[in-house]
Amino acid sequence: MELMLAVFSLLFLFATQASPPLDQVLKYIDDHQDDYVQHLKEWVAIQSESGSPAKRDDVIQMIQIVGERIKSLGGSVELADLGNEELPNGRIIPLPPVVLGELGKDPNKITVCIYGHVDVQPARIEDGWATDPYVLTEKDGNLYGRGASDDKGPVLAWLHAIEAFQALKQELPVNLKFIFEAMEESGSKGLNELLSEKNETFFSSVDYIVISDSGWLSEKPVLTYGTRGLCYFFVEVKCAKQDLHSGLYGGTVHEAMTDLIGLLDSLVNSSGHILIPGINVDVAPLTEEERLLYKAIEFNPEDFKNTIGTTELLHESKEDVLLHRWRFPSLSIHGIEGAFSGPGAKTVIPAKVTGKFSIRLVPDMDPEKLNNQVTTYLNRVFAERRSPNKMQVTLKSGSRAWIARFTDKQYVAGRRATNKVFGVDAEMIREGGTIPIARTLQHTTQKSVMLLPIGGAGDAIHSQNEKISRGNYINGTKLFAAYIAEISQL
């Protein structure tokens, strides 16, 4: 009897001490972090620069490796062919295929679709990297290498999270689908068409779409529910059939550059206020509820200012800086093509100059309407100058802002997963930049989209010395595992 009791209590002890399944997965991830770093090293070594035609074979090799990885997890993969790309010199090269993967089709489980990309921005050690950009190098807890944060690290983190469930013989609690591409850094050519084409098939069973291709705002984990759109304008002024000498012609002609500077100066005032009439009519009014979201965010305008190396920002309070970064439109002047910009004092009067500026769009601004407002306004400003020159405004590209339905269940799962792994509440943020895929996926499929980034605030993506911290990479892997567990329970 006593023995039986002893056995019984031992069993009881065992049962209560065995950790819950998710905790086992998280521990497994911790224990295998060196393997995960090694895998990232192998991926970073592949120079998958989508913008460098000479590297196209590497890009294709990279996406094929991703396909094989999904197959090794037991998934099925379609390598969707996007055809060819014609380069500016007329040469035709193949576009890398898109990986459409699927793992599990249990009708009783929900289906989560993960988006990521495995192409990278170009990188050369001569650009000022401290280490070879294609040799992942760990220093002071950071993993340096092109693509470490954008976006090979996050893609691998998802695959490792899935692997961890499988290694522990735990059934995955959700069905998974994957869209992994390798042209993201070069405008995702052909992707939109593919997504539309697959709407009724690949996407029909998808419940939630998660994108991990952005970063945190501070040291705190985030859920990102909006991005701004972008309209990029060219304004061209032409005054002569060729460049002129200011000694011979200065004082006699209406100079193109003078007109252009006047036009550019009419766009925004020195407080950052956009002067184009009507620009704000479609900006969705800010609700009190939203303002409260901004109050809760950890963000220090002083640090932000110091990181940039500027003495004063356009706005003072934390809320105003963030609102103007994410929630209101902004206008930036980028450059003047055709202007003299070399060293020295050349006395040229350029014959034709093209000013380049862009406007970041927020909900519910419309690119076409904005184009009309900008064109009408610049034509009026130009007419007031009474210049005989030729002026032309062109909208080069236009994309709308994206805003998620952030009350959707997957945001709840994201919050719970963040709490589980990091022990803090996720910050609800937006991005001031543009991640076209977020809007495209939501708009095309009408499914819930969430950005669940694991990159750090200072990862220097697209820049020299890109990195991801080991902490973000490994905890990010755990976050994805926890998200999978949490979303399956909602």
Ligand X SMILES: *[C@@H]1O[C@H](CO)[C@@H](O)[C@H](O)[C@H]1NC(C)=O
- Binding residues for ligand X, rule: CB under 6 A, are 196, 199, 204, 269-271, 273, 422-423, 444-446, 470-471, 474-475
CB nearer to ligand X: pick between 107 and 247:
107
Q: Which of 49, 150, 163, 184 is catalytic?
A: 184
**Do the Cβ atoms of 157 and 35 come closer than 8 Å?**
no
Q: Mutual orientation of helices 33-44 and 152-167 as an angle, nearest 10°?
A: 140
Nearest-angstrom CA–CA distance, 458 and 216: 9
119 is an active site residue: yes
CB nearer to ligand X: pick between 409 and 462:
409
| CB contact set of 260 (below 8 Å; sequence gap of 6+) | 235, 237, 336, 353, 355
Nearest-angstrom CA–CA distance, 106 and 330: 46
Query: 190 vs 145, 178, 184, CA distance in Å?
Result: 28, 17, 11
- Selection from 459, 455, 457, 454 nearest residue 479 by Cα: 454
Return the ∠ at Cα 32 (arms to 26 and 37), rounded to 5°.
Answer: 115
CB nearer to ligand X: pick between 209 and 391:
209
b/e burial code for range 42-63 (CB count within 10 A of at least 16 → b): ebbbbbbbbebeebbebbbebb
Q: Mutual orientation of helices 152-167 and 470-487 as an angle, nearest 10°?
A: 60
Q: Which of 102, 119, 236, 408 is catalytic?
A: 119
- In DSSP notation, 225-280 reads EEE-EEEEEEEEEE-SSS-EEHHHHTTTS--HHHHHHHHHHTTB-TTS-B-STTTT
- Selection from 117, 140, 159, 156 nearest residue 465 by Cα: 140
Closest approach of ligand X to the CB of residue 125, in Å:
28
Q: Is 108 helix (H, G, I), strand (E, B) or coil?
A: coil
CB nearer to ligand X: pick between 218 and 444:
444
Is it true that the peptide bond before 320 is cis, omega within 30 degrees of 0?
Answer: no
Nearest-angstrom CA–CA distance, 162 and 158: 6
Closest approach of ligand X to the CB of residue 225, in Å:
20
- Selection from 267, 256, 117, 277 nearest residue 181 by Cα: 117
SS3 content of the chain, % helix, strand, coil (to 5): 40, 20, 40
Closest approach of ligand X to the CB of residue 470, in Å:
5
Closest approach of ligand X to the CB of residue 71, in Å:
27
CB nearer to ligand X: pick between 91 and 273:
273
Return the ∠ at Cα 228 (arms to 358 and 59), rounded to 5°.
Answer: 85
Closest approach of ligand X to the CB of residue 212, in Å:
17
Closest approach of ligand X to the CB of residue 195, in Å:
9
Residue 163 CA neighbour count, 13 Å, CB half:
18
Closest approach of ligand X to the CB of residue 454, in Å:
11
Closest approach of ligand X to the CB of residue 370, in Å:
19
Residue 181: strand pairing partners? 117
| Structure-block tokens of residue 44 | 């970073």
CB nearer to ligand X: pick between 203 and 225:
203
Closest approach of ligand X to the CB of residue 424, in Å:
7
CB nearer to ligand X: pick between 31 and 127:
31
282 is an active site residue: no
CB nearer to ligand X: pick between 117 and 470:
470
Q: Is 404 helix (H, G, I), strand (E, B) or coil?
A: coil
Q: Mutual orientation of helices 33-44 and 470-487 as an angle, nearest 10°?
A: 110
CB nearer to ligand X: pick between 26 and 62:
26
Catalytic annotation, residues: 119, 184
